[in-house]
Amino acid sequence: MRHARRNVQRIARFAAIGGLACGGLMVTQAMASETSSDGTKAPNAETRAARTGQELVSELGTSRTAGSWIDAKGRPVVAVTDEKAAAEVREGGAVAKVVRYTMRDLKSATEALKDAPKVAGTSWAMDYATNQVVVRADTTVSKAAWARLTAVAEGIGASVRMERTEGTFTPRLNGADALFAGSGRCSAGFNVTNGQNNFILTAGHCGPVGTAWFSDQQGAKPVGSTVSGSFPGGDFSLVQYNSGTALSGADIVTVGNGQGVRIIGAADPAVGQKVFRSGSTTGLQSGQVTGLNATVNYPQGTVTGLIETTVCAEPGDSGGPMFADGLAMGVTSGGSGDCQAGGTTFFQPVTKALTSLGVKLTIDPAAAGRAPSSAGADGGTGNDAGAAVPPGTASTAPGAALPGAMGPADTVPQGQTDNASSALERLGEYRNLGPGLFVIAGSLLALVALRIRSERGRKRYRNQYSQSWG
């Protein structure tokens, strides 16, 4: 009876139009084939599968489960440690896989690795599908250091697997819209607010507190300054906008070709889920989540709690937004490889950054289906003199993008005040996306290749989220 009641409650949650807590944010959703009275489209099947697995793991606890993922058929799979838990998972609408190690065991393995001497160029993440923690080392790690780390892994046991990887793990310093500072160039991630001030959420390694940021390389167009952040440890920071910056349409992330994706909330991804990343160097790229709670030992220090993916990235993409189905999921941290040969890229989870920084995404309630306000759900801003124009004021214009949809360029109004241009507003100024923004190392060939890669990314997004395509 208890299981049946739980199933009825879960079905009701997915069938009803209403708020679902996702990392502290309220997100409107409906069944896959439904459209709400205000036009809000449902999350796609993969997003629902991810939530189903995550809910089951939360209900059963870390002593009976070892994570969830999405399999090749798009089904939610939950790793369990006994047949009783497996039966509950199947009753909950997911596939059960009985494994040897619990989540507690996997976390214990990562703690043992964390206590070992740090080796720059290494990383580890939980691979739920194989019920192991995978340790990887890039090409900078010496044979002697690899041997020492292997000995540590062998001491932990079979819950740890060792792999070598190509390339070098480095922060992707130097994205969707470029931010320039003396330390280099980074990407704007998502607009956020604490209810009084407005900020850009970006990567922490981009610059320490006090770093001044500009929207042009010459330093003539100031954006704001870094006021808080974490790196190493975490990899997130806040750039506070200069007073008077206009933030209309701040819930839009550019994907190139005059189109943008509206962000309606935040969520944690599932292993196996397809995700997308936008950056000024390589445009829109896609891949899959391969691990969670990843630790990366960059040369500059160790960062924990990251999302491991197969999405490619290159210098210039750092801090840029990762998202899926209209939900913010991460900001680009670093990785190895490039968008020609492929590679591994790590992302700082948005939900953890928002909680740590005490801010919430700047969301247009109308675009999010007029979801009830909650911590992190709406984009309220102060109304004092000099405060930013409330985000999303023109998002209800004809042709505005649906949540998670690809919308036309005119969904984001242009404009600025006090000569301080909003970096994420500039993401919406798609007319400015001329060749100069996309030229890589001054190469016309690279420009053409970039446009081809970006177009492929847009097609993947459209195919993945066809129900919410604008």
* Residues annotated as part of the active site: 205, 235, 318
Chain centroid to CA 262: 14
Q: How many CB atoms lie within 10 A of CB 94?
A: 22
What type of residue sits at position 57? V
Query: Are the CB atoms for 372 and 20 separated by under 8 Å?
Result: no
- CA distance linking residue 8 with residue 333, whole number of Å: 40
- CA distance linking residue 141 with residue 71, whole number of Å: 32
For residue 424, the surrounding DSSP H or E stretch is: helix 423-428
Tokens 């993916």 belong to which residue? 309
Give the strand order in the sheet containing 76-80: 65-70, 76-80, 95-98
Closest CA relative to residue 88, chosen from 121, 59, 109, 110:
59
Residues forming a β-bridge with 41: 35
What type of residue sits at position 259? Q
Three-state DSSP at 126 gives strand
- CA distance linking residue 371 with residue 22, whole number of Å: 13
Tokens 């009876």 belong to which residue? 1
- CA distance linking residue 460 with residue 285, whole number of Å: 9
Closest CA relative to residue 50, chosen from 14, 97, 99:
14
For residue 22, the surrounding DSSP H or E stretch is: strand 18-22
